[in-house]
Copies of this chain bind each other. A is one copy, B any other.
Amino acid sequence: MNFCSDNTAGAHPKVLEALVAHNAGAAMPYGNDELTQRVEKRIAEIFERDCAVFLVGTGTAANVLSLAALTPPWGVVYCHPGSHINCDECGAPEFFTGGAKLMPIAGADGKIAAADLDGAITGAGVVHHAQPASISLTQATEAGTVYTEGEIGAIADVARRHRLGLHVDGARFANALVSLNCRPADITWRAGVDILSFGATKNGAVAAEAVVVFDREKAATLGYRRKRGGQLWSKMRFISAQFDAYLKDDLWLANARHANATAKTLGQGLAGVPGARIEHPVQANEIFVTLPEPVIRGLEQDGFKFYRWVEGGQLLRLVTSFNTEPAHVEAFLASARRHAARGTQAAQ
């Protein structure tokens, strides 16, 4: 009954089966095997466009390699203050870019508004200032919301006007995609995205992320960057095998739909709990909810695990995953209601 994160879940059984299935025989290392090449093509098909694909082992790596491909050491990366690259990478973006500056652009529900971004871009061509270079959006956002195709397009317009690269951190890309019920291309290159961190780990893989570069010219340095970044697996077939299973028969979409659906149930249920306040629209697999302290303590005592978003605060983040059991959601809601009811009685 763990709602801490989608990375507390294990991997989908089919992903593990694929590791076993592709274990037989010799395979050339470092991605020079047939399976890897097949997976790279499959990803291109899914995005309906020729693209350069770089498989890596972690989301941090996918993000910072992407940013490094778009941002010189003296560049500025515009991002949401709450974005993973800004808060939770221990300076990995600065490290991989060689010293770029992350410039936070605040915005409601974890999203950057195009107009705010536009207003924040200054200093181009002036040697005293770090240079506007790239934008990084998170899709689904760290607030559990989703950028629409139109919102991304508006930001891409700003990017184009200022000649900035546009990156999307898609650690939860599948969750956003099924939420929007559109095609992968619609919210990536067709909307103006240059590079996508296409995450699989949180949605059922072991450790598998892909840097998908929609314009091959922007990929020129990435082979070298991946290698010297320590991300070129010798037994690359084992990342590829994960993606092979992940993408086969739309497993990735099914996984995301399950996670989103359980999140929806959980969010809707919590909205009806006395004293609860849902902080952001529940559009993917995360719920941000403020609860009365006694309810939080009650849930903890009942064995549920989750994070208080700020230490000691009453704002909780609850995350569902591809294998969250509906029964656990129901149990969580029941517990919350029970403790809320007690609080109400006590207050009377």
Contact = CB atoms under 8 A, between A and B. Distances in A.
Contacts of A30: 127-128
Contacts of A127: 30, 90, 223-224, 226-227, 232
A229 B89 CA distance: 9
A40 B88 CA distance: 24
Given A91-B100, A201-B234, A26 B8 contact: yes
Closest 3 CB pairs of A and B: A61-B230, A94-B99, A2-B26
Interface residues on A, range: 35 or more
A232 B31 CA distance: 22
Nearest to A25: B10
A128 to B, nearest CB: 5
B90 A128 contact: yes
Contacts of A130: 90-91
Contacts of A95: 73-74, 98-99, 228-229
A101 interface: yes
A185 interface: no
Contacts of A322: none
Given A60-B227, A92-B228, A5 B23 contact: no
Contacts of A238: 11, 206-207
B11 A27 contact: no
B206 A19 contact: yes
A19 B242 CA distance: 13
Interface of A: 2, 4-5, 7-11, 13, 16, 19-20, 22-30, 56-61, 64-65, 72-75, 87-92, 94-96, 98-102, 127-131, 201-202, 206-207, 221, 223-235, 237-238, 305
Count chain B CB atoms within 10 A of each CB in A98, A99, A230 and give the residue with the most. A230
Contact of A19 (B19, B25, B72, B221): B19
B60 A232 contact: yes
30 contacts: A4-B26, A4-B28, A5-B234, A7-B235, A10-B25, A11-B235, A13-B23, A16-B16, A57-B207, A58-B230, A58-B232, A61-B230, A65-B230, A72-B221, A72-B224, A73-B98, A87-B129, A89-B227, A90-B129, A90-B130, A91-B100, A91-B101, A92-B227, A95-B228, A98-B99, A127-B227, A128-B227, A206-B235, A229-B229, A230-B230
Contact of A20 (B16, B96, B234): B16
A24 B10 contact: yes
A81 to B, nearest CB: 11
Contact of A233 (B23, B25, B57): B57
Nearest to A88: B128
A235 B15 CA distance: 14
Contacts of A226: 127
Contacts of A29: 4-5, 7-8
